[in-house]
A and B are shown apart, each in its own frame.
Chain A
C-alpha cells in the first residue's frame, strides 16, 4: 500500500535514501516547473515501458499538483 508523505519526508527520502521523484501531471506542466531531479511520467502513460527509467531498488515518490 503506498504511503502518504509530506514535503519534509520527501526531502529526507531523497537525501538519505536516494528516492526518485516522479511527476505524474501532463508533460507541459512538468516542463514549466517541477521538483529538482524529478522525471516526468504522466499518469496516462504510466506503464511498464515508461517506468523502465526508474530504479526498482530505490524508493519512488509520486506527486501531482495537490490533493485533487
Chain B
C-alpha cells in the first residue's frame, strides 16, 4: 500500500518522498514510542526486564558460570557483536561442563523470542502452555531487548 501512496505523492508534485517499507509493524516490534488510543496499553516490552546477563559465543563457560549466579537471572543470553540473539545458556546446560569449553559448544540454539508489542494475555497463555518461566524479547531485527518473566506478566494481569 505505501509504495502506491509514495508514487501518488510524487505525481501530486512532492519531490522528497520516502517509503518506510517495513511500516508500523516494524516500528511496534522495535518497541518505539507510538501515539493513539491503544498507545497506553501495557505490552510485553513494557514489563520485560532489561539488561539480562549476556555473553559471546566464543567465551569460556567458566566465565559465564560466574555471571549466571548473580541477581537472580535464570539464563545468560548469547549475543553477537550486534546484540543479536544467537542462543541461551541455563545453569543446567553447564552442569558437568569443563570451564574451558566454549559457550557455542553448549548453548541452546535459537531460543524462542517475542516482539515488545506482543499482547500480555496471549503471551501468558503461550508460556503457560510451554511451561516456561520466561521468554526473550527481541526487536524484529533479532536484537535483545530484555526478558519477560511469566510471573511479572501474570501479576500485571491479576491487578
- Which A residues fall within an 8 A CB radius of B? 1-7, 9-10, 13, 19, 22-25, 29-38, 41, 43, 46-48, 51, 54, 56, 58-68
Q: A34-B34, A47-B12 are in contact. Are A61 and B20 (CB under 8 A)?
A: yes
Closest to B8 in A: A46
Check if B4 sits within 8 Å of A43, measured CB to CB: yes
The reply to whether the CB of B24 lies closer than 8 angstroms to some CB of chain A is yes
Q: A66 is contacted by which of B10, B26, B37 (Cβ under 8 Å)?
A: B26
Main secondary structure of the interface of A (DSSP, over half): loop
Find out whether the CB atom of B23 lies under 8 angstroms from the CB atom of A63. yes
Residues of chain B in range 21-72 having any CB-CB distance to chain A below 8 Å: 21-28, 30, 32-39
User: In the complex, which range does the number of interface residues on chain B fall in?
Assistant: 35 or more
Check B18 against A19 for contact (C-beta < 8 Å): yes
Give the distance in Å from the alpha carbon of A7 to the alpha carbon of B140 in the complex.
Answer: 11
Structural contact, B6 and A65, CB atoms closer than 8 A: no
Residues of chain B within 8 A of A10, CB atoms compared = 18, 20, 27
Q: How far, in Å, is B18 (CB) from chain A's closest CB? A: 5
Lowest 10 CB-CB distances: which A-B pairs, in order?
Answer: A2-B6, A63-B20, A64-B1, A59-B16, A24-B5, A66-B25, A33-B36, A64-B2, A62-B5, A61-B18
